[in-house]
Copies of this chain bind each other. A is one copy, B any other.
Amino acid sequence: MKEVYEIAVVHGDGIGPEVCAATVEVVKAALGPVNPLRFTEYPAGAEHFLKTGQSFPEPTFQACRAADAILHGAGGLPGVVHPDGTEAGLDFTLRLRFELDLYANIRPIRLFEGVPSPLSGVKAGDIDFIILRENSEGLYAARGSGALLRGEVAVDTLVQTRPGIERIVRKAFELARKSSGAPRDGVRRVTCCDKANVLRSYAFFRSVFDEVAKGYPDIATEHALVDAMAMHLVLKPGHFNVIVSENMFGDILSDLAAATVGGMGMAPSAEIGETNGFFQAAHGSAPDIAGKGIANPYGTILSAALMLDWLGHKHGDEKLNRAAGRIRRVTEDCLAGGLLSADLKGSASTHKIAHAVCDRLATVP
């Protein structure tokens, strides 16, 4: 338990500032007058890069590393790229992941009441699982180091290591044990998603998964090839509990899964290492709607709830966990009550949603 938790806040690009500001309001409202969180803003992102030539200033990095947690809006603007063609505004997210070794990317996928799903015949509660994306190796190990030879041959290298796989698979089993959402058939289950039939590194991922699984006899396990998994997420999303996969596959599958529960605006994410925690919605900076006040803040708000939970557990500070629970309940109520942003076919502005959530938090014990 700490008296003050330092939260490094980075607004980033596009709709980042809007959803981030809304979320900070909500967290303050959830914690009330004795709020132990101190929010400090630091610059990073594509706009900062355009202004200063730096996408991720060293002081911002140091502050993030030293902070108790990092809260981010969204980063990146199309066309703002490095010489190799990759986006400058993503340095913030990608460097934090690798330099702070945030190996576990936890992406809860849940269909809330009131939120329309593109899948026919599913209702709130039918979809409730976690995609656990390995966040420190895999194909992303090649980021910034891919080779281009004579403008003719480009090479990126996918690396998977035993310790890297072991720790993410252990995390998957731990999440399955304590997950509140259980799959439709009442079984706690971890699904290993890979491409073991074709590629050696994924066969290795599967074999390490099988070894680690022996230590968790209380949890059911299964394998799914990534192509089949993409299909399953559409055809039987209610089957899953915790899905664990390599970094690139996790990136694709988590967006796909988000599409089934209302889209990227409803997709929170927690990126966690041994020491640091980094929280942001899984969506991008959506420059097309930036500044209009219509961005969906729920993904970032729900990410902040993950932050409070993580801080609470880490520091044995139950009031943070209680605040997280209240944010989740109020969010649920607001969505069920029809407080929907434009992406959810509603008409509530970012501000309106944030204020409604704050007002309601004041009345909920």
Q: Residues of A at under 8 Å CB distance from B?
A: 76, 81, 84-87, 90, 94, 117-121, 139-140, 142-143, 146-148, 151-163, 195-207, 226-228, 230-231, 233-235, 248-249, 251-256, 258-260, 263-264, 284
A154, B255: Cβ atoms closer than 8 Å: no
A155: chain B residues within 8 A (beta carbon): 157-160, 201
Contact in complex: B152, A161 (CB < 8 Å):
yes
* Most-contacted residue by chain B among A151, A160, A163, A255 (CB, 10 A): A255
With A140-B199, A235-B259 given, can you name 14 additional A-B contacts, CB distance below 8 Å?
A: A85-B206, A86-B196, A86-B199, A90-B198, A120-B120, A153-B159, A154-B200, A156-B201, A157-B158, A195-B251, A226-B251, A228-B255, A231-B255, A256-B256
With a cutoff of 8 Å between Cβ atoms, the chain B residues found around residue A260 in the complex are 234
A253 to B197: give the CA distance in the assembly, Å.
17
Q: A118-B235, A148-B204 are in contact. Are A198 and B154 (CB under 8 A)?
A: no
Q: Are A156 and B199 in contact (CB under 8 A)?
A: yes
* In the complex, chain B residues whose CB is within 8 Å of the CB of A146: 199-201
Q: Which of A81, A196, A231, A251 has the most CB of B within 10 A?
A: A231
- In the assembled complex, how far is the CB of residue A198 from the closest CB belonging to chain B, in whole angstroms? 5
CA distance in complex: A207, B81 (Å):
13
Residues on B with beta carbons closer than 8 Å to the beta carbon of A148: 200-201, 204
29 A-B contact pairs sorted by A residue (CB < 8 Å):
A76-B197, A81-B203, A85-B200, A85-B204, A85-B207, A87-B198, A119-B120, A119-B234, A139-B139, A140-B198, A142-B200, A142-B201, A143-B198, A146-B200, A152-B163, A153-B160, A154-B161, A154-B200, A154-B205, A156-B200, A157-B157, A157-B158, A226-B251, A226-B252, A230-B253, A231-B255, A233-B256, A234-B259, A235-B263
Q: Compute how far the CA of A205 lies from the CA of B264 in the bound complex, rounded to whole angstroms.
A: 26
Q: How far in angstroms is the closest Cβ of chain B from A44?
A: 16
Q: Is the CB of B204 within 8 A of A154?
A: yes
Taking CB atoms, residues of chain B closer than 8 Å to A195 are 248, 251
B-side contacts of A120, CB under 8 Å:
117-121
Chain B residue nearest to A162 in the complex (CB): B152
Q: Is the CB of B87 within 8 A of A197?
A: yes
Cβ contact within 8 Å between A227 and B198: no
- Cα(A251)–Cα(B248), bound, Å: 14
Q: Which residues of B contact A256 (CB under 8 A)?
A: 227, 230-231, 233-234, 256
Q: State the CA gap A199–B157 with chains docked (Å).
A: 10
Provide the bound-state CA to CA distance between A192 and B204, in Å: 31
Given A227-B255, A256-B234: A197 touches B86 (CB 8 Å cut-off): yes
On whether the beta carbons of B162 and A153 are closer than 8 Å, the reply is yes
- Bound-state Cα–Cα, A199 to B202, Å: 19
